Each structure stands twice: as C-alpha cells, then as structure tokens.
Amino acid sequence: MSAESNKRKKIILLKQKRFREIQIQSQVNDRRFSMFLLTKGSANQATILDLLGKWRKANEHLFSAQFTITRSRTKKWLINRVVNDDDRVLFIIQVDGKYIGHVGLFHFDFTNNSSEIDNVIRGENDLPGVMSEAIKSLMAWATAELGIHTFNLKVRKENLHAIKFYKKIGYSQSGLIPLVYNEQHELEELPMNDPRKGDKYYIVMTLLK
C-alpha cells in the first residue's frame, strides 16, 4: 500500500472513532476552546445537524449552490460528503460548552503534501479571534498527523473582509480562478484553457509551513 493510500485510510479511520475522541485544544488569550472532528457518531446528533444547517443558511451567499436546507439533507451531506470522504475533514469549534462554528480541510494532495482550507464558518458571535486561532491549530494538526505543509484556500474576489482576514494569518495570493454561471445560475469554475471571461473570480491564497 502506498504512502498516500495509508494516509487516506487513516483519514477514514479517524472519522470512525467516537465523536469528541479526536480533538484539538487551543486558546485565544486566556480563554480555551476545543475543536472536535466530525465523525460517524456526530451524524446522529440532532443539535449538530441543526446547527450545521442554520450556519449554512446564514452564510449561503458564500456558496455557489442554493437549496432548501433540512435536517435529513444535512445528515446525508455529513455522512456522504464528510464522514465517508477520504478527501475531507471537518472540525466543529466549541467555546465554553457552546458550538460556535467549524473549519475543515479538503482536496488532499499527498504527493505535494498540500491541502485546501475548507468550510470556514463562524456560526455564533463568541470569542473574538477564535477563527484565526482555529485555522492555525487545524494546520498544526494536519502537519503533525498527515504531513501537510502547504495550505491553499479559495475566496471570492469581492470578499474583501475574508481576504484581509487570511492575509493576517499569513496567506498570500497565488492565483486567480474564473467562475461562470451555469444553466441553474450556479457559479462553477471554468476549465483550464477555456477562453471565456469569468462572471466572478476566486482568489487562490497559499501559506507554507
């Protein structure tokens, strides 16, 4: 079995463990917070499913696709697109016993030891600075557990607040991806060498550890 296969198997096995067993501890100033890997068991917790749906709805303007959010649909997404996917991990953030958001990783490239920061959502207003520390802690975990040293992310060009936020963490622009509206009026990335001009753009940002 190759090194990449071993790491992808490890990702799946981690998500088969009990919910809250895989955790990251961090802090902002003197306040501590926890990050718990969303695992198979978390898909049966109504509170988590409802919060994931609530936060997705509140931030749907950041996503390309729009749809009606239900608990069953959220559960299906969590199982199929997170728990059973060897190309994604997602951690839910807890402050003083309250879940307040999530951060994750997507698109692992174990040949180049890189991954993409994904699904950064602050769901509740609590503990200023927690999201930047959560991302830093997630990157440290990924380096220690999976050997990831290069982190990329995509942010819409017009999202100046997010761009400023990621620059403060240490990310810098490394590329630009054009987006076009499809027949469902959802934004999708243009294939490479497609001559069309984008309707919108992703800025690609990169940080090396």
The stretches in the chain having pLDDT less than 70 are 1, 62-67
Residue 66: the pLDDT is 62
Helix runs in the chain, H state only? 3-14, 46-58, 71-77, 130-146, 160-169
Residue 177: the pLDDT is 94
Q: Which tens digit of pLDDT belongs to each residue from 2-51?
A: 889 999 999 999 999 999 999 999 999 999 999 999 999 999 999 999 99
Partner residues linked to 105 by β-bridges: 89, 117
Residue 80: the pLDDT is 96
Domain spanning 3-148: which CATH class is it, in words? alpha beta
C-alpha 119 chain-centroid distance: 3
Residue 179: the pLDDT is 94
Residue 184: the pLDDT is 84
Q: Which tens digit of pLDDT belongs to each residue from 130-140?
A: 999 999 999 99
pTM listed for this prediction: 0.94
Task: Decide: 184 and 173 in contact? Cβ < 8 Å.
Answer: no
Record the tokens describing residue 172, joined without a space.
């810098």
Residue 60: the pLDDT is 79
Residue 68: the pLDDT is 81
Could you check whether 3-148 and 149-209 share the same CATH topology? yes
Record the tokens describing residue 39, joined without a space.
């695992």
> 114, exposed or middle or buried, with CB in 10 Å at 0-12, 13-18, 19+?
middle
Domain ranges of the chain: 3-148, 149-209
- Domain covering 149-209 in this structure, CATH number: 3.40.630.30
